[in-house]
Every structure is written in C-alpha cells, then in structure tokens.
Amino acid sequence: MKHLACVILILVGALIVIPSVTTSVHANPGTGTVCILPSKNTSCPILPFTFGNLTAGSSLTIGVFVQASDDMGGFDIYVKSDNTVLNPTSAAFGPLIVSPSLSIICINGSPQPGSGACTTGTANGPGVVEVQTLEASGQNECLGQPTCSGMAFTITYTVQATGGNTAISYPKAPGCASSTSDPTDCVLIFDNFGTVLSENIQTGSFTNAAPAANFAAAPIRGPAPLAVTFNASSSVPSPGNTITRYNWTFGDGATASITGPTLVHTYNDAANYSATLKIQDNGGHESAIKGPLIISVLCSFICANPSSLTIIASKNVNSTISVSGIIPFNGTIALAYQVSPVVPNAPTGTFNTTTVNVSPGQTRFSKFTVSTTASTPAGDYTVNVTGSVGSYHHFIIINVKVTFTDFQVLQTPSTLTLSQGQNSVSNITVTSLSGFTGTIALKATNSSNDVLGFLSKSSVSLTSAKVTDSSLLYVIVQSGTPAGSYKITVRGNGTGLLGPLIHSANVTVVVPPPDFVGGAAPTSIQIKGGSSGTCAISITGLNGFTGTINLSANSSATLGINPSLSPPSVTITSTSGPVASGLTISTLGTTPPGTYMVQVNASTTQIKRYVNITLTVLPSLPSIKIEAAGVSSNSAVAGSRVTMTVSVANPGAVPANITIVMDVSTASGSNITVAQQRVVVTPSQPQTIVLSWDTGQWSSDTYHVYARVIGEPTSTLNQALSAGQVALAAPPSTGQTLFDILPWITTAIATAAAVALGVVALRGRRPPTESA
C-alpha cells in the first residue's frame, strides 16, 4: 500500500537522525476513537451525530476527529455518503497533523489539485472521500503524549435535496488497511514507526426528515457535590424549524425544561447517573436520547445514599454511609450521629458497624438504619452523621421526614350545575397515603332536602396492592328547588396508627334560576317596500321554567314598519318543549330603503329576554294601472288609420318610466305591435296616451286591439287591457285601373325609344363639310 511506502521513508529518516530506537509502548490500546462530528466541535459526541435541517443547494462541513489515540504520525481514512443526498465537493486537513506530507485527497474517485493519485483497489468511488497524510518531521504528534486528540480533516458537502437521509460512515473494502477489529474498515491510524494503532470508530448520519437530540456532558466523574455542564447544541431540529424546548431528566430525580441548549446540574449524592434529553421544535416534532454516558459521582470524605428519607411512623429506612480515604490517610474512622430537633420519641439511628478501616483512595461502607415508633411525631428531622479520626471530623446531613399512614378523599367534579328535576354523578376517590391499609366507611350528608346525594358504596377498602378505591355520588335536584348553591359532604372514617382518621370532600351543587331563551328562524328578512316578510320566533325553557311569556315587537309608524306576532303569547309547560310564534313584518311603499333592527320582547313579570331580527328594505316597485283603453272606430277601410286612446294611472309612491304598446291580434292568434309610446307617469297624475295604427298593409278582416304596459319592472308588469275590435274592409273600385292603361304606356315607351335610336343613326352618316 501507498502509505506503507511513506512510512518506510519516514523510518529511514528516523534511523539516520536517531541513534537508537525504543519500542513504542501504547498506553491505551483500542481506546482511541475516530468520530464524525460538526467541524467546530472539539470532542466526540456521546452518540453518533446526526446532521440535518438544511435545504437543497446549501453546504455542510463535517469534521473527522481523532480522540484519545496513542501518539500517532499519520492516517489514511475514507468517509462515504450517498452522493444523491450529500455530494462531497472538497476536503481540508485539520490541525492534528502539523506538517502533512505525501498527502492524498481523493473525492468521488478523483484526486484534488496538488494531491497524489487516488489509492486503487480500495473503496474510492462516488460519494467517497479518501484523505491520507504523514507527519513530515518523522515524529509523532501531540508531543508523544499517550492520549492524542485533534481534528484530522474536514469535508464540505452540497445538499442535493431538501428531503433525504444518508449515513456518513467509513466504507469497507478488502484492499483497505484497518485500525479496527474489522480488517475491511477503511480507517487506518499509525505512528512514526509504522505501527498500526488500534482505534474505535463512530459514524454519523444526515437527515432532513426528523429532529435528532444529542448532548455532551463534562465533567462526568468527580466527588460530590459534582457540578456537571450539559451541552445540547449538537441537537438538530427537523428541516426548516428551530428547537424551542430542551427537557432534561438527570437520573437523580431532578428535571429541567429550558429554551437554551446548555445548563449546569449539581449531583449531591455519590452514585452513577445517566441523563436523558428530549427536544421539541416549533414544527411540533420531538426526539429523545438517553445517554449511555455514565456520570460517576464519588464520595468526598463521607457521604450518604440516599441523603433524604421519608419514613412512615413505626417503620425503619436504611441509608448507606460511604467513607473515603483521602491520600495519604490510612486508618480507622469512627461513626456517630445526632438527630435534630430533640423531641420525645424522635427517630433513632443504628450503624451496622460504627468503625470502618480505609486505605488511601479506598471507599468503605456502613449501613445506617433510621428507626421510628408509633409515637414518633410526624415532621421533618435532620440527622448529622459524623466520621471522626482524632481531632479530624467530617459529616453528612440526612434529611428525614416522618409521616403517618393516612388517606385522602377527593371528588371529581367538585361542582355540579343542575336545573330543577335534573341529576348527575360525582366520583368520590379514596387514596392511600404513606401505606395506609384498611376499610374506610363513607357517608353523604345533604345541606338541604331539595338537593339529595346517595353513594353507590358505603365503604371502600385499601390494600398494599390497591391504593385507590372509589364510590359514585348520585346527585338529584328536586322539582321546585329554589335557585342557589347547595353542598353535599362525603365523609370517610378509618382507623390509623394513633386512632380514628376522618377526611371529607364537598360537592357543590349550583341550581340556576328558571329562565328561557328566544331565537328566530331566519334571523334576517329581506323585502321590498310595500311588501311583508315572516319568520318564526321560538322560546325554549331553561332550568325548569314553566309559565306564560308575552311577546311584542317594536314598530315605527313614521317609517311604515309594522311587526305583528301570532300568537302574542306562548306558554311553556313541563312537557311542552320549545314553543313558537309567527312574526310578520309589513312595510309601506314609502318605507325608506335600508337595514333596520326589529326587536321581539319576550317577558314575564320577572324575566325579560330579547330576540333581534335584521330587516332589509329594498326600493319598492312602481305601480301602474291601465284604467281605460278604446279604439277610435270599430270598423275601418284598409289603408286608413285607427287610433287607440289609453288612460294610465300610478297609484304607487314613485314615478314609473313605462312604454304603452298598441297590440293587434290576428285571426291566427299572433299579436303584432303596431305602435308604442314611452311616458313617465308620476303618482296621482293620470295620463292619456293616443296611439295610431296604419292599416294600409292589412287585409280585410276583424282584429282585436289591446293596450299593454312594458318597460322597467313594476308591480303590474305586462298588464294588458282590451281596447275593442276593429273590422277592416277592402277599399271600393274607382274605374280604370293602372292595369287597364298598362299596354298604352308600354307602346309609348317603345315608340320613343325607336325614334331616339333613328336620330342617332342619321347623325352618324352625315358627310363631312368642305373647308372654307
């Protein structure tokens, strides 16, 4: 392989420069990690990193990082992605190798400018980046320290599509040399002697589909109290979104919900912890990660785990006391305790061993038992556990809370709103507190005989396996119950460690006053001035209402709006359900166009309710009436004129622009308009119109004549009135007609034409005149 030749050259140089060579000792074989991470990060993530939230055409730069490796002198690493999702475009060395030499940067199977040729027979090809180099000095990096970390190189990609996923991994190929347990992994780290260093590998991924939670923590080991900084800035949201919430669970019972990626949490007790992070973005997407990272909190001098205890009176609880030897201490530590406050029957403590022998850097344990009796007062106590050697003392505080077995009674819902004659249910739940077991008797007490409560069970039983039980409270409101607030008390009686236990829950029953509500269908009416419209007014009783409701509506004589209700009152009974009345709203022709509110009042002596109806009045139509129509004669000779006299009136409120038409009906049944005239007829001013029929082209027959109104819309559009019949007769004979003299006229014309032609011919033959 090409890099082995490079290593040989480096070795030759080293043998010339260095008189003697010592075999390299690898401090942490197999503990180094080659990982893929954001290009700005300086340590490998807890879990493989997921990149994302990028649009098509944007660029992404990742880093290949070597962490905690043995001191090294070069590498040959391949990175592969799906180039239809992420297409590599360039790569650059990081600071890990100070003076790169004999370098190869190969992208998609092609060497980059200034690079050596791509290694053949390996994994090079589409989507693959190979980066290889040697330290030119021939020395290892990191000053020969046993743990060497740094950015090996970076790769820049172009995002090919807004959606899509791909692994960012190390390809496998038989031609590759490997630092992992799999000889086909194309990841090689070696030192200046050419020794292949054993490494772990961590891949990455790219997704534009879902958010990905990730975080780092430091320090992850130390004495209590240990303040740990958590950093979730490596988490990514779903595409086009941002992270809005970081929800932490730290493993010690504490939680946090913040909007930023970093926070500090302090672990007070010595133990091993694992934290969990859940992120949410503004697109409503979530991702969670429970870090495999173990946070080890060590005991500092003396510790207690747990350091907070809750004890049921008459019970015992244990805490483990840890005692650590601080270098160079070596000896026996005596343990003692003190309880505060000092009260009769206060908690007491017992060590399974009151002395422990520790050596430098060692931790020894003693079980500390806190005991109580049935007479121990409930409350909070502090127990100061002290470890002493001569005049040296260290102590730890254990917080102790003493409780008694008990129960609680809860109601769901706690308030019911019921009308007269209605009923409902509230669920009464009894829950054990501090390990209470036993039977609890239940009883419901009513504050009034009008509102009654009955329990489905008169007792419930609680056991260690059944810490809750329930009973239904049936609530009935009697008919005629006065409006107001009523209370039903459910009391639970049980027996505790020190005697009777009594707890209760109250259910409030609100009885609203009888009422009714009105409605209209439809809620709006649109009519023309001078007409009317209708709608239905419905009245529905509420809260047990019964009685008669009087109905009225506002009117306006000035505007000409007159509503009426039928019937003017309605009666609701216990069985009637909703009742209704018909509302008719009438207008005049003089009612101004516009929108009005008609209010229907529904009332009793104590209750008033209103229903509003929107009334829209459109402009009223003119009203035209043909009062009379007649013809000048009932008989006429064809060729004469027949006149029709029409009288029209406007009984409406607005002028009418109309056309009066004279129609003649033939024997075949068709109507022919023979004359028309346009007129404006104003209210209260009748007009007389005369129309004339020229009968010159009509044959002798009997015809019916009509007067008709046409033109703009009126309330009597196309109304017609008969003007009478007219009998047409043929005109009388007057002697010789045109047809009798037609031959004479033809002969005269022919003769005149012949004469004219002869004159023209003679002029054409005239001899020329002699010149003078």
Q: What is the mean pLDDT of residues 633-642?
A: 91
Tokens standing for 66?
Answer: 């070597």
Express each pLDDT in 176-235 by its tens digit.
889 998 999 999 998 888 889 999 999 999 887 778 888 889 998 887 788 999 999 888
Domain presence at residue 261: yes
Together in a domain, 501 and 591: no
Q: What is the DSSP letter of 434?
A: T
**pLDDT at residue 86, as a whole number:** 93
Together in a domain, 566 and 647: no
Together in a domain, 478 and 601: no
Domain presence at residue 742: no
Find how far residue 573's CA is from the centre of its chain. Answer: 47
Q: What is the mean pLDDT of residues 566-589?
A: 92
Together in a domain, 498 and 420: yes
**pLDDT at residue 79, as a whole number:** 96
Q: What is the DSSP letter of 184?
A: T
**pLDDT at residue 328, as a whole number:** 66
Domain presence at residue 753: no
Report d(CA 456, CA 490) in Å as an integer: 12
**pLDDT at residue 148, as a whole number:** 86
pLDDT grade for 29, boundaries at 50, 70 and 90: very low
Together in a domain, 393 and 468: no
Domain presence at residue 475: yes
- Asked if residue 739 has pLDDT above 80, the reply is no
Q: What is the mean pLDDT of residues 279-307?
A: 83
Express each pLDDT in 104-117 by its tens digit.
999 999 999 988 89
- The last residue of one of the domains, among 378, 403, 428, is 403
pLDDT grade for 349, boundaries at 50, 70 and 90: very high
Do 155 and 77 meet the contact criterion of CB atoms below 8 Å apart? no
Is pLDDT larger for residue 754 or for residue 673?
A: 673
pLDDT grade for 603, boundaries at 50, 70 and 90: very high
Together in a domain, 497 and 544: no
Domain that holds residue 264: 222-297
Report d(CA 296, CA 270) in Å as an integer: 8
- The last residue of one of the domains, among 511, 546, 574, is 511
Domain presence at residue 292: yes
Domain presence at residue 450: yes
What's the angle, vertex CA 512, arms to CA 511 and CA 513, rounded to 5?
120
- Asked if residue 691 has pLDDT above 80, the reply is yes
Together in a domain, 51 and 185: yes
Q: What is the mean pLDDT of residues 499-516?
A: 94
> Where does residue 557 rank: exposed (0-12), middle (13-18), buried (19+ CB within 10 A)?
exposed
Together in a domain, 610 and 645: no
Domain presence at residue 319: yes
Together in a domain, 604 and 633: no
- Asked if residue 758 has pLDDT above 70, the reply is no
- Asked if residue 587 has pLDDT above 60, the reply is yes
Q: What are phi and psi of 751, to 5 degrees?
A: -65, -45
CATH number reported for the structural domain that contains residue 140 in this entry: 2.60.40.680
Together in a domain, 36 and 94: yes
Together in a domain, 499 and 395: no
Together in a domain, 418 and 354: no
Domain presence at residue 740: no
Report d(CA 692, CA 641) in Å as an integer: 6
Q: What is the β-pairing status of strands 199-202 and 32-38?
A: parallel
- The last residue of one of the domains, among 297, 318, 341, is 297
- Asked if residue 600 has pLDDT above 90, the reply is yes
Report d(CA 246, CA 161) in Å as an integer: 28
Do 338 and 305 meet the contact criterion of CB atoms below 8 Å apart? no
Overall number of domains in the chain:
6
CATH number reported for the structural domain that contains residue 341 in this entry: 2.60.40.10
Express each pLDDT in 380-389 by its tens digit.
999 999 988 8
